[in-house]
Each structure stands twice: as structure tokens, then as C-alpha cells.
Amino acid sequence: MRAAHDDVIERLRLAVPGRVVTDADVLESARTDRSGTFASGRPIAVVYAESIEDVQAVCRIADETDTPLVTRGAGTGLAGGAIAGDGEIALSTERMCRVLEISAENQLCVVEPGILNGDLNRQLAERGLWWPPDPASKDISTVGGNIASNAGGLLCAKYGVTREAVLALKVVLVDGTLLEVGHRTVKGVTGYDLCALMIGSEGTLGIVVEATLKLRPAVMGVVPTIGAYFDSIADAVAAVAAVTAAGLQPAIMELMDRSMLEAVAAHTGLDLASAGTAYLLVQTDGPNALAEAQAVLVEVQAAGGRAEITTDPDAAASMVDVRRQGLPAMEALGALLIEDVAVPRDRMAEMYARIEEIAERYDVLIPTPAHAGDGNLHPTFVFEGSTSDVPDRIWDAARELFRAGLELGGTLTGEHGVGVLKRAFLGDELGDAQYEIQKRIKAVFDPKGLLNPGKVFGS
Amino acid sequence: MRAAHDDVIERLRLAVPGRVVTDADVLESARTDRSGTFASGRPIAVVYAESIEDVQAVCRIADETDTPLVTRGAGTGLAGGAIAGDGEIALSTERMCRVLEISAENQLCVVEPGILNGDLNRQLAERGLWWPPDPASKDISTVGGNIASNAGGLLCAKYGVTREAVLALKVVLVDGTLLEVGHRTVKGVTGYDLCALMIGSEGTLGIVVEATLKLRPAVMGVVPTIGAYFDSIADAVAAVAAVTAAGLQPAIMELMDRSMLEAVAAHTGLDLASAGTAYLLVQTDGPNALAEAQAVLVEVQAAGGRAEITTDPDAAASMVDVRRQGLPAMEALGALLIEDVAVPRDRMAEMYARIEEIAERYDVLIPTPAHAGDGNLHPTFVFEGSTSDVPDRIWDAARELFRAGLELGGTLTGEHGVGVLKRAFLGDELGDAQYEIQKRIKAVFDPKGLLNPGKVFGS
């Protein structure tokens, strides 16, 4: 039976003194994330855990009092996966931000979940090491959040997603049990891979309290940059396909369509209309970077791209800036719903055509950048009003977009996660049998459904 | 209630006519694998499925008659994970060996589970593509078996294990339901990663009937080879550590200790004793291969290695052959129990010392090669008698070895799997809480425990 909120708060204060905050502004900020979605009601408290023992104590109280628990990192999620509402405890990992170990010999580090990806990578860089996951949010998002959402980014086609960059996790279960999953070794096949199961589980199975991360040597040397303008998005997509089919593996391949270029032109005053109606940004890295960039350029030009290679920092910055200005330029146009479909790489042109068709039919602007190397598009619906209040018409258009992505063999979400934003569509992708099995796995870890309720599953 | 065997066989014959074999020699061969372990008793039939529908039909019969079902590929496992015994149906995927699709643009292929890794890679090579998992068995082991055991190999430190090379799976559950898990896209975060959960699950959760594999461009160009002799295994391990710490990433780094070198010398007549007491074989690949090999050589020599680089095919073959002769040389000495511990890379020297100590104390020869780049050692117990009848004294020594591996932060099995051989030790590594959760996940998929019973879990 659920205990009274005051009793729960009192128990929390006794168990983890000094970590329990009930100030109205703090509770209010825990209701939302960068998706602009708000939970209904406010959490009863935000608890700032400082240790594994703190997390265990909070979980035990939640379990014993049947109080729902929502774990949060920096609150930068884009799917409402970490928003805490009425009657819930918000458990923050922000104060658990220590680096516990860095080992060059084992190419690993051990960290607490609340450290920011960018802060960690600055420390690693001093040792010539690198943790590859690179969500656009990396300077403001936590490693724990990256793990909870299996974060992607620009470099995934070459360097993999978060799942490929985690060796082991310590996880606190809802009853306070501390579980150690995965291996400190590169290989390990003892039993089911619960470490992989945890990654991307969005706080619904347990709370990640420590992570052993797989590192790479920092990539050294010059990074040539190519900025290519095309007459159509189809040509640009064909260039990407040709690059991949030629066995080339750029570090990043970022695509922008006409409406995104127009937004950037309006925002920056750059004359992009005369340059082209689609833009492809490519960077190569590693010991063969320049030769690889030259081979990429051949493919890009053969596909009709007007392009050049530069290794000059200023010229490269200008090329990169066209892409980087995309988000502020779109934000200047109105409220945004940032979507996240991924399709097989050879269906990208079709996906762009479907997006254009949906934009026309619903009379809505949908600028769409893509991590083209891995077929991950971010169709961004622009509308009047507030991001926290997406109009039904926009949701209808988004629903058609999801359906188009699934029809093309793709997925609802490449890297942002399901959260509350896409839970209504999850069953469409998984099918009934898998949806049922996923819910039963949830019940193995969290039989009472106290961890992040309403996220991922639900309608 | 379990049906009479004759009734089950009759139902199988009706459901999948022409695929059901009950010849004594075929049943007998399904009792064992390359570990030399034999199941107690014989299976009631071996069913050679030719389609997904066949597998579904067989599963439904197993489910409805409560008959245990053991899935087998080529039977090359080293842990007794696919051996079928008394009252069980052995389901063979050997005839499901088609390549259904190869896409250079998406860098993926879709295959049936029974295709041999080597056969697949020959087909891919014609298209300039490559599926990286490279267990030593690759010419005789199936892709389905590689997936069931999350196979590793020599190239894993650089190119990852099987889990990193699988995008999606079709899986038949014990009740005949067809599940599609994973994504055809590079990224995808909809719900829990059941694809990763399936990989390495050793036939205990479902039957993999189709796999979408993540490919890489074939690695082109010269592959320089370094063969280095050291005065001690500790020096050789130090060389490996120095290579890793320098941020170099060879394609393979294979280590051999003194007793393995002695076995090879005895078997081949080569004078290795005067060359050294430990051997390190390194190959680099990719566009920077030669420069990388030269940088490796610097580290190897600084650690006391007597070494040279060659790109001459004959000279390289001689260097590789020292390693390749290891298994036949050990087989010439007696029956073998091939173990598979992995430890963090910086504990390898300690692990070698522990192995030496155990070998002395138990008076048993334990030649130990290692995939040194990822800390995966194969201590190989040599004894008189038959591989299918490991003496208690050898098991006692192996048990100490497992304990030593765990104490050093390692794992019981880096790439061979648990099967029946290590099930008694699984709980030692996982701990009670995780062991219990793993068993409950098993029950989600297979509530009656019909799939590969006694494997992975059990005492």
C-alpha cells in the first residue's frame, strides 16, 4: 500500500540527510526535460544521491512504501524519459560525478553516472584516451543518461553507439540490491548479457550507479572537412550511398535538406540559396584521413556535389557552422518537435520524399537534418505556440512519419529513446509478441512497476 | 505431461516429412561436440529443419508434448552447449544455410543460421565485404553457432565480438511464435535490446532462424607480421601492455608460453628453445599497417623482444605457423581440456603466474596461448586418457584456475560459452542475485524449461 507523501519524505530525510530537496522550483524543474514535455503534477521530492548506498537507501524506501521512482541525470533527454510527476520521487545522480579510475593499459575507465560526457572526455583527452559516444548534448548530458538512452551522435557509423562503449555496470534494483553486470574484460560470455539489456532501458529496470567504459586511443592528426552543395536531397543521398558502397568510412556525414538550409540562411544571413538545396558535411579522421577525404570527394563530385576539401581550421569551421547553426535557426522559426527516425541507409531518399509529402499535406515546416552515415534522420516539426504543447495536427503528421519510417524498414527512434513521447507507438514497431515479452522482462526486474512508470510502455 | 517418444517422433514425421532422422549413428553424433563431452543417453531424433516454418512446427510439437529441444549447428562448440541426450529432440539448422541478401549500401547481409562463417565470408569477399567474427573454428562453425555463443576469435580487440556484428535476428520461441528483434538500421533504441540478449544465450531462450549481420568493408592492403621471442612470459605480456598503452591497435596479438612453445618444438622439430621461452605474434592491418607495425616493433624490442617485421608471405607464414601448430602439437601430447578464461589486460602476467603455479602443484601440463590484445587465455590441460572423460584431478586444477581468473577481475569464459562444462561455476561469477534474475529471464522466454535444458544453468 502506498504510504502518505509526508511519511515518505520523512523517511528519505532520515536515510539520506541533506540530500532531500522539496523546494517548489526544484520540484518544478524535475517535471520536464529538453523535449519540453511536462509530467502531470510535481514529484514529492528530488533526492540528490551521493553514493551507491544513498541510491540503495532511496530504492528501499520507494519499494517499501510503493512510491514510484524516476531517475534523472542532467535532464537533457528529448523523449520525456526522465520527467517526474505527481507522487513520484525524483532521484538525481548529478552529484555522483567522480571518475574512479582511468586505465590506459586496459583502455577503460570507471565513472559514476552523473559525470558529464564532455567533462569525462576532457579528462580522458589528457591521457590520450577517448570515450566515443557523442550525442549533440555531450557537453550538458551525463554518462548515466547516455547509457539509459543508448545515446548515439554524429560518429556512430564509424565508432558505434553507447552500447558498444560500455563494458560493465553496477545497477541498483528497486529493492536496493546491487547488481554487477558485464565484464571488466573485453570478452565475456557468462550467461545472458544483462549489461546490454540495461543500456537503453531508460531507467525502467534499475538505476545505473557505476559504469566501466570501453575507451579508444584518441584519434590524432588532421581532420579534413568537405562541405558539399547539391541540387537535390536525392543527389546528396546518392553521394552518401556511393561513399558507403565504396568502402569508405568517414567519421561524420551530416546531411541538411532544403528547408533546413533556408532556415539557416534566414538566421545567419548567409547566401545559401545560390549554393544549392541540399548540403552534405563530411569529415574523415585517422592516419589515412586525407587520402580517404580525397576518395570521398571523388564520389561526392560524381554524384553532382559542388565541394572542396579543407584542412584549414577557419575554412573547416565555416563548413561545420552551416550544420551547427541548424538548431538555433529552427528555434528562431517557432516551437519544435524534434523527431528521430532511422531507416536503412538505402531508404533515406524515400524517407526524405515521404517527409516532404507529409510536410505539404499537413502544411507544416519539417526541416530535416540526418546523420547520413547511419540513416538517422531528425525531422523537426516547426509550429506556433509552445514546445510543451504540441498541437494535435503536428502529432498526426508525426504519426504518419513514424509509420513511413517503419514501412521503410526503419525504427521510431534511432537515439533519443521512447520515453513518454513515443510509448504509444512502441507496440507498432515491436509487434504484440515482443511487446509482451518486453513487459515481462520489466516485471522480472521491477515486479511492482515502481521504476519510471509510464515511460517506454504505456499508451 | 511428457508424451511417449514414439508419439513425438510420429508427430514430427507428419509435420516435417523427410527431415526427421532416427538412425543410430546420427543420434550418436548429436550427443557430443568438440569439447568431447557426451550427453547422457541419446536424443529421440535429429530434425534437419529447412525453413522457419519447419522450426516453428518442431517447437510447437516440443511445447505441446513437453519434449526438451536442443538446437545444433555444426557441433563445433567447446563447452557442451549443443549436445542432445535422453528423450530430447535435436534440432539441426545445418540445412538452413542460404544467404538471403547482401547489401553493400547498407553494409549488411541477411543469412540463415546454418551457413558456415567461412562460406559466408568467401561470398562476402567477392563483394569487398567482411563479417568480422573469427573464431578459430570459422571454417567449420555456423553463423548461428557463432551467435549462440557470442563467438570471439583473434581479431576482437580491434574488430569486436559477434554481438557488435549483428543488427537483427528472427527467433522462434518454444511455442512457435516468430519474434523479430533488433533493427535493420545502424541505430535503434525502441525498448529493451532483446537482440543483444539473444546473442550468447546458447539456445536457451529461442532458436535463431535468420540473422541480419553488420558488415565492414574488407580490409585491403599488406598485412605486416611480427614474430617476437622473449626470455619470459612476463616480458612478452609487458610488450603487449606497452603496445596497448601506446594507443596502437594491431589486428591480432597472439601469445604463447614456454610449455606451448616446447610442445610445438617437439611436434615440428623446430629449434625454438634457443629462440626464447615466450612468443608473441603480431599483425597490423589497414591503410597505416606498416607504420603501425614499426611502432609496435619499437615497443616489442624495448620490452626485450627479439623480433623482426616481415611483409614477405613465406616469412610471415613461418611466423604464423608457430602459433598455428599449437593445437596439433598439444593434441599430440594427450587428451585436452581447453579452457577459456579472460582477465583485464593488466592482470595477464599474474594470470600466467597463477597458471604456472597450478600446473606445478597439480603436476599437470597447461600450455597456454592467449589472444593477448583482449586478455583472453586458453589454458589447455593435457592429460592421459580420453577428452570425454576428464579426470577429477584435472577438474580440481581447472576449478582453481577459474577461481584465479575471477579473483583477478576476469571471467570464466571469454568466448566459448558456459554449456555444461562451466555451469557449476556460473553462480560464482554472477553472484546469487544476478543468477536468480537470469533464471527468471529464462523463464520469461521458456516457462517450462524445454529449450536446451541443463545448459548454462544447472549444477
pLDDT digits (tens, 9 = 90+) for B98-139: 999 999 989 999 999 999 999 999 999 999 999 999 999 999
**Domain check: are A301 and A379 in the same one?**
no
B342 interface with A at CB cutoff 8 Å: yes
**From B179, which residue of chain A is nearest by alpha-carbon distance?**
A434
**From A291, which residue of chain B is nearest by alpha-carbon distance?**
B287
**Domain check: are B314 and B354 in the same one?**
no
The two beta strands, B278-283 and B225-230, are antiparallel
- Of the spans A156-160, B153-157, B440-444, which averages the highest pLDDT? B440-444
B103 interface with A at CB cutoff 8 Å: yes
* Sequence-ordered list of residues with C-beta below 8 angstroms from that of B37, at least 6 positions apart, any chain: B79, B80, B83, B388, B419, B420, B421
B106 interface with A at CB cutoff 8 Å: yes
**Domain check: are A126 and A210 in the same one?**
yes
Task: Kindly list the residues from chain A whose CB atom is less than 8 angstroms away from the CB atom of residue B171.
Answer: none
Query: Is B188–A157 a contact, with Cβ atoms under 8 angstroms apart?
Result: no
Q: What mean pLDDT comes out for the span A433-441?
A: 97
Residue A425 lies in a domain: no
Q: Using an 8 Å Cβ cutoff, are B418 and B200 in contact?
A: no
Residue A456 lies in a domain: no
**Domain check: are B211 and B105 in the same one?**
yes
- Comparing CA positions, the residue from B126, B125, B55, B117 lying closest to residue B89 is B55
* Sequence-ordered list of residues with C-beta below 8 angstroms from that of B226, at least 6 positions apart, any chain: B280, B281, B282, B283, B293, B296, B297, B300, B307, B308, B309, B310, B319
Task: Kindly list the residues from chain B whose CB atom is less than 8 angstroms away from the CB atom of residue A165.
Answer: none
Query: Is B444–A456 a contact, with Cβ atoms under 8 angstroms apart?
Result: no
A441 interface with B at CB cutoff 8 Å: yes
DSSP B373: G
Does the pLDDT of residue B163 top 90, yes or no?
yes
Report the domain count for chain B. Answer: 4
**Domain check: are A126 and A201 in the same one?**
yes
B127 interface with A at CB cutoff 8 Å: no
Segment holding A280, helix H or strand E: strand A278-283
Q: Where are the alpha helices (DSSP H) in A16-114?
A: 24-29, 52-65
Alpha carbon A400 to its chain centroid, in Å, reads 22
Q: What is the CATH number of the domain that holds B286?
A: 3.30.70.2190
Q: What mean pLDDT comes out for the span B28-52?
A: 96
Higher-confidence residue: B458 or B32? B32
pLDDT tens column, A252-302:
999 999 999 999 999 999 999 899 999 999 999 998 899 999 999 999 999
Task: Kindly list the residues from chain A whose CB atom is less than 8 angstroms away from the CB atom of residue B342.
Answer: 183, 185-188
Residue B454 lies in a domain: no
**From A435, which residue of chain B is nearest by alpha-carbon distance?**
B191
**Domain check: are A105 and A210 in the same one?**
yes
Dihedral-angle region of residue A176 (phi above 0 means left; psi in -120 to 50 means alpha; beta otherwise)? left
Query: Is B183–A411 a contact, with Cβ atoms under 8 angstroms apart?
Result: yes
Task: Kindly list the residues from chain A whose CB atom is less than 8 angstroms away from the CB atom of residue B178.
Answer: 433
Nearest Cβ partner for A346 among B105, B152, B415: B105
Domain boundary among A275, A305, A328: A328
User: How far away is chain A from the Cα of B194, in angstroms, using its nearest Cα?
Assistant: 7
**Domain check: are A47 and A82 in the same one?**
yes
Q: What mean pLDDT comes out for the span B451-458?
A: 95
Residue B456 lies in a domain: no
**Which pLDDT belongs to residue B287?**
85
User: How far away is chain A from the Cα of B186, in angstroms, using its nearest Cα?
Assistant: 5
B345 interface with A at CB cutoff 8 Å: yes
Amino acid at A200: G
Q: What mean pLDDT comes out for the span A68-87?
A: 96
CA distances from B186 to A402, B39, B108, B182, B250 (A): 17, 40, 10, 10, 25
Q: What mean pLDDT comes out for the span A374-394?
A: 93
**Which pLDDT belongs to residue A278?**
97
**Which pLDDT belongs to residue A2?**
66
A150, A163, A189: which to substitute to probe chain B, counting the most B Cβ within 10 Å? A189
The two beta strands, A380-383 and A335-338, are antiparallel
**From B184, which residue of chain A is nearest by alpha-carbon distance?**
A344
Domain boundary among A328, A351, A377: A328
Residue A274 lies in a domain: yes
**Domain check: are B11 and B57 in the same one?**
yes
B185, B199, B346: which to substitute to probe chain A, counting the most A Cβ within 10 Å? B185
Instruction: Assess: ipTM above 0.85.
Output: yes
A1 interface with B at CB cutoff 8 Å: no
Say how many CB pairs under 8 Å bridge A and B: 260
| Chain B residues 133-192 with CB within 8 Å of chain A | 149-150, 152, 156-157, 160-161, 163-164, 173, 177-181, 183-192
Query: Is A193–B160 a contact, with Cβ atoms under 8 angstroms apart?
Result: no
**Domain check: are A103 and A209 in the same one?**
yes
Amino acid at A175: D
CA distances from A222 to A167, A226, A313, A315, B77 (A): 30, 13, 10, 14, 45
**Which pLDDT belongs to residue A387?**
85
Nearest Cβ partner for B414 among A157, A187, A192: A187
B192, B193, B428: which to substitute to probe chain A, counting the most A Cβ within 10 Å? B192
3-state secondary structure of A275: coil
Q: Using an 8 Å Cβ cutoff, are B344 and B408 in contact?
A: yes
Residue B459 lies in a domain: no
| Chain B residues 305-324 with CB within 8 Å of chain A | none
pLDDT tens column, A193-251:
999 999 999 999 999 999 999 999 999 889 999 999 999 999 999 999 999 989 899 99
Query: Is A217–B291 a contact, with Cβ atoms under 8 angstroms apart?
Result: no
Query: Is B192–A186 a contact, with Cβ atoms under 8 angstroms apart?
Result: no
**From A108, which residue of chain B is nearest by alpha-carbon distance?**
B344
Residue A383 lies in a domain: yes
Q: Using an 8 Å Cβ cutoff, are B180 and A431 in contact?
A: yes
Alpha-carbon gap, residue B83 to B33, rounded angstroms = 6
**Domain check: are A107 and A46 in the same one?**
no
Q: Using an 8 Å Cβ cutoff, are A145 and A177 in contact?
A: no
pLDDT tens column, A6-30:
999 999 999 999 999 999 999 999 9
**Domain check: are A184 and A106 in the same one?**
yes
The two beta strands, A89-92 and A45-48, are parallel
Alpha-carbon gap, residue B185 to A222, rounded angstroms = 30
Domain boundary among A184, A217, A250: A217
Q: Using an 8 Å Cβ cutoff, are A158 and A249 in contact?
A: yes
Residue A459 lies in a domain: no
**From A417, which residue of chain B is nearest by alpha-carbon distance?**
B189
pLDDT tens column, B315-354:
999 999 999 999 999 999 999 999 999 999 999 999 999 9
Q: What is the CATH number of the domain that holds A50?
A: 3.30.43.10
Q: Where are the alpha helices (DSSP H) in B48-116?
A: 52-65
**Which pLDDT belongs to residue B458?**
83
Query: Is B189–A413 a contact, with Cβ atoms under 8 angstroms apart?
Result: yes
Query: Could you give phi then psi for residue A408, rounded to 5 degrees?
Result: -85, 10
**From A341, which residue of chain B is nearest by alpha-carbon distance?**
B188
**Domain check: are B53 and B137 in the same one?**
no
**From A248, which residue of chain B is nearest by alpha-carbon distance?**
B217
Alpha carbon A202 to its chain centroid, in Å, reads 11
Amino acid at A31: R
Alpha-carbon gap, residue A311 to A226, rounded angstroms = 9
Band of the pLDDT at A325, cuts 50, 70, 90?
A: very high
Q: Using an 8 Å Cβ cutoff, are A379 and A371 in contact?
A: no
Give me the count of residues in chain B.
459
DSSP A218: P
Residue A116 sits in which domain range?
99-217
